[in-house]
Chain A
Amino acid sequence: MSLLSVNDLTRNFGGLTAVSRANLHVDEGELVGLIGPNGAGKTTLFNVLTGVYPPSSGTIELNVDGTTTSIGGKRPNAICRAGVGRTFQNIRLFKDLTVLDNVRIAMQQNIPYSLLAAFTHAGTFGGKEQQIRDESEQLLAVMGLADKADELSRNLSYGDQRHLEIARALAVRPKLLLLDEPAAGMNPNETRDLTDLISQLRRDFGLTVVLIEHDMSLVMRICERIYVLDHGSIISEGTPEHVRNDPLVIEAYLGEEAPNA
């Protein structure tokens, strides 16, 4: 069974249908792209998948290690704990906290200790805090941010902020990682590095990745399968090659061909 199965998912805002009867499935270990013109509903779909909005109708199921949980309509924190990590289109870091703290806050979710230990800094406190710190620093090293651990995250370069957001998402040890335009605002070199990084992370962490992206060079290079969304509906699905040549997709991006052309 697929890691993520979305069936007939619809999300309305008042009279506007942002996502309309979307069906998609993502198998374990896959790297799937989600593309579409501006306003197609990609981010809304992510927001419904991660619980920011409840679905208007339809189901979302997550199948981790043989157990299936229905995550549609659950709160974001519950969905995160079920195994879904994400980044945001317009970077949502804890801007006034250090790089290390950004990751620590996520990392500590897996390494809990009691309120009593927190009040006294005694008992398990020291060991757990050290563990949180060590694992966070390891992750920062993987993401190339080790030397910036003590900087405020608002002072990072744009590319580093994107990296930090991915690091924070990874810190919760997700099965499924949703990346919302990870290469937005990056130059071609940075985009290439990011592409490599995503492939590497996927191998090293055994991740399944779904990414929204406008940069076609990235999408076409690393995605194994692509869903194309337009006006809230999935209009095409398949390999990069298939999607690239699908007349419906070309029409969605470039408009309809003139009848007499």
Chain B
Amino acid sequence: MGAVRNILRWLVPLGLAYGIVLALIQVGVINNYLFATMMTICINIILATSLNLVVGFTGQLALGHAGFMAIGAYTCAIITMRVDGIVGFVLGVLAGAVLAAVVGFLIGLPVLRLRGDYLAIATLGMAEIIRVFINNMGITNGAAGLSGIPRHVDWNWMFFFLALTLVFLWHYIRSAHGRRAIAVREDEIAAEAIGIDTTRVKVQTFTIAAFFAGIGGGLYASYFYVLQPSQFGFLKSIDILVIVVLGGLGSMSGSIIAAIVLAVLSTFLAQFTDLRMIIYSLLLVLIMIFRPGGIMGSREVSLGILGKVFGERKDPAAMVAPPIVKQDDEEVPSDEEVK
């Protein structure tokens, strides 16, 4: 009974979203231009929710998400260009995700010992190293990049991977593993004192985030069919972080809403060619002034209406967000000071 209810909780909204978009495509309301925007939104949602797991839920300021996206994108592109058909595509996306996760794990082990801004800079550097590698490898065709990647992504596939990401991440957060990550964010020393291996938790969430960033990259490669290393620079990582912060650290639905809002905003602003970026940036500043915790803070959209239909109240255990950058506590000197 409870299990069925829980499944309905995510199946109903996802099913509705899928059906509505499908209907709009059939009717012709969504033209090619809108469809491309929608694909960008979906990819950004995958990237932002996975980054939110690290930055928002585990409290680790990582800035290298574009690096993992690039690994996923190039792996998928290279495989789909060699293996024909949908098999190649699925294989490519999954291989890209796995490779991104492996790299994430290997990078995470040393790097996640750092904290705060040091971690940010280290992850940023790692992402740049990945990009430089791609820039200089033969199989990725260097700076010229890859083009003519077979396009396999349609709404069905995009929705499948989007739903996969959201359902898995949502479940993870609402599990003992997710609570452990949140404990690390809240107070590392207290978390250690109750037996949580904080390094392991951080590496775990980082690896998971890299995996889904790899999926996002694969979908990107397959839909936009042209890849260049310059697309995966520092700015791309920042773009994703902006979505996460704007939506609210520690809010999955916030990341989803922010990804949509930002895409709609920049589509709408396309008509003011010269002023576009100025207005866009100004709006970001205004949102952060009036909603410093992000659009959703740390709350999730409660499915109020659906909840009533199924006779369930909002989970009171909804997690609250931390301040954006958490300072280390005063009482215990950091490692550097101790030595």
Contacts and interface: CB of A to CB of B under 8 A. Distances in A.
B197 A94 contact: no
A108 B189 CA distance: 18
18 contacts: A13-B333, A53-B338, A77-B193, A80-B192, A85-B193, A88-B193, A92-B193, A95-B186, A97-B186, A97-B320, A105-B183, A105-B194, A108-B180, A115-B204, A118-B175, A121-B171, A126-B2, A171-B194
A104 B179 contact: yes
Contacts of B180: 105, 108
A132 B71 CA distance: 39
Contact of A86 (B177, B193, B197): B193
B338 A13 contact: yes
Interface in B164-212: 168, 171-172, 174-180, 182-183, 186-187, 189-198, 204
Which residue, of A53, A105, A108, A120, has the highest number of chain B Cβ atoms within 10 A?
A105
B320 A77 contact: no
A75 interface: yes
A47 B183 contact: no
B188 to A, nearest CB: 10
Contacts of B168: 119-120
A106 B196 CA distance: 8
Contacts of B321: 96
Nearest to A89: B331
B331 A152 contact: no
Contacts of B196: 77, 105, 109
Contact of B193 (A80, A89, A97): A80
A106 B186 contact: no
Contacts of A105: 179-180, 182-183, 191, 194, 196
Interface of A: 13, 47, 50-53, 75-77, 80-81, 85-86, 88-90, 92-98, 100-101, 104-106, 108-109, 111-113, 115, 117-121, 125-126, 128-129, 132, 150, 152, 168-169, 171-172
Interface of B: 2-3, 6, 168, 171-172, 174-180, 182-183, 186-187, 189-198, 204, 298, 316-317, 319-322, 331-333, 338
Contacts of B332: 47, 52
B190 A93 contact: yes
A118 B3 contact: no
Contacts of A120: 168, 171
A231 B197 CA distance: 33
Contacts of A172: 194-195
B118 to A, nearest CB: 20
B317 A80 contact: no
B176 A75 contact: no
Determine chain B's interface SS by DSSP, over half rule.
helix
Closest 8 CB pairs of A and B: A118-B175, A76-B192, A80-B195, A94-B186, A96-B320, A92-B190, A108-B176, A106-B194
B192 A94 contact: no
A118 B316 contact: no
Contact of B186 (A96, A132, A171): A96
Which residue, of A52, A77, A89, has the highest number of chain B Cβ atoms within 10 A?
A77
Contacts of B193: 50, 52, 76-77, 80, 85-86, 88, 92, 169
Contacts of A104: 176, 179
Which residue, of A89, A98, A152, has the highest number of chain B Cβ atoms within 10 A?
A98
Contacts of A93: 187, 190
Contacts of A111: 176
A117 B178 CA distance: 12
Contacts of B176: 104, 108, 111-113, 118, 128-129, 132
Contacts of A169: 193-194
Given A88-B190, A119-B168, A98 B177 contact: no
B316 A150 contact: yes
Contact of B182 (A13, A85, A94): A94
Given A100-B317, A101-B179, A118-B171, A109 B195 contact: yes
B197 A77 contact: yes
A97 B190 contact: no
